[in-house]
């Protein structure tokens, strides 16, 4: 058995990061689906492919919410945290070989990072842009992206319009800034260890000091 591993939401300031692994006997069994890196597909196409992948493959996912990520980052870098999560989904499926989308400039170092957390022996093939090179990683990318997008929609029902959760999204920044202005602290779904959050808190503090000057 081989598997592909990828994540969605690594750089998000709001909401979870989802890591997914997809396991198959042979990559050829996915060749007819027209799989691509999830970022190259529309939301409608990802949702169409999601159940097809689940029917053909064994799936494992790990979700780290904002508070989980803040806690983990007290002990390790974000790349190390992703490697540990990659190892966790690989361990769930016990493949003989796993293709992973490298989260480090050094693909060999990243492979060793993942391997160091495995409970069982497994060959790790670490590549940059693996989600564009291997069907199994493209499939994992789609599973991770759809799972995270659904989680973001669920959070939006509770917290209001939060956008995509990424720092580059003006809707996300507007939500974060408004929440911090009103409550003086970030929302529970925010990654407090992110520079984006720290900058908005500092901006609010300067604004408050300006009110007294």
What residue ranges define each of the domains in the chain, with the CATH number in brackets?
A: 2-156 (3.30.420.10), 158-208 (1.10.10.460)
Per-residue pLDDT reduced to its tens digit, 43-88: 999 999 999 999 989 999 999 999 999 999 999 999 999 999 999 9
Judge whether residue 174 has pLDDT over 70: yes
Judge whether residue 212 has pLDDT over 50: no
Question: What pLDDT does 211 receive?
Answer: 55
| Integer Cα distance of 38 and 48 in angstroms | 12
Judge whether residue 207 has pLDDT over 80: no
Average of per-residue pLDDT across 81-109: 94
pTM of the model: 0.91
Judge whether residue 208 has pLDDT over 90: no
pLDDT bucket at 128, cuts 50 / 70 / 90: very high
Contact by Cβ (8 Å): 98, 4: yes
Question: What pLDDT does 33 receive?
Answer: 82
Question: What pLDDT does 123 receive?
Answer: 95
Average of per-residue pLDDT across 86-96: 95
- Burial of 79: CB neighbours in 10 Å, binned 0-12, 13-18, 19+: middle
């Amino acid at each position: 058995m081989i598997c592909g591993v990828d994540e969605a939401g690594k750089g998000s300031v709001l909401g979870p990061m989802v890591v997914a692994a997809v396991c198959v006997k042979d990559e050829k069994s996915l060749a007819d689906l027209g799989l691509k890196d999830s970022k190259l597909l529309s939301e409608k196409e990802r949702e169409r492919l999601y159940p097809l992948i689940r029917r053909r493959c064994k799936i494992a996912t790990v979700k780290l919410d904002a508070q989980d990520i803040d806690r983990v980052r007290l002990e390790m870098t974000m790349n190390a945290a992703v490697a540990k999560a990659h190892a966790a989904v690989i361990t769930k499926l016990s493949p003989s070989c796993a293709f992973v989308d490298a989260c480090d400039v050094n693909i060999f170092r990243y492979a060793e990072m993942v391997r160091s957390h495995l409970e069982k022996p497994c060959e790790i093939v670490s590549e940059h842009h693996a989600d564009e090179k291997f069907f199994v990683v493209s499939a994992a990318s789609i599973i991770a992206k759809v799972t995270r997008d659904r989680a973001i929609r669920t959070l939006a029902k509770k917290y209001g319009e939060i956008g995509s959760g990424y720092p580059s999204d003006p809707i996300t920044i507007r939500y974060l800034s408004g929440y911090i202005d009103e409550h003086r602290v970030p929302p529970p779904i925010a990654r407090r260890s992110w520079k984006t959050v720290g900058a908005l808190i500092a901006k609010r503090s300067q604004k408050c000091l300006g009110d007294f000057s």
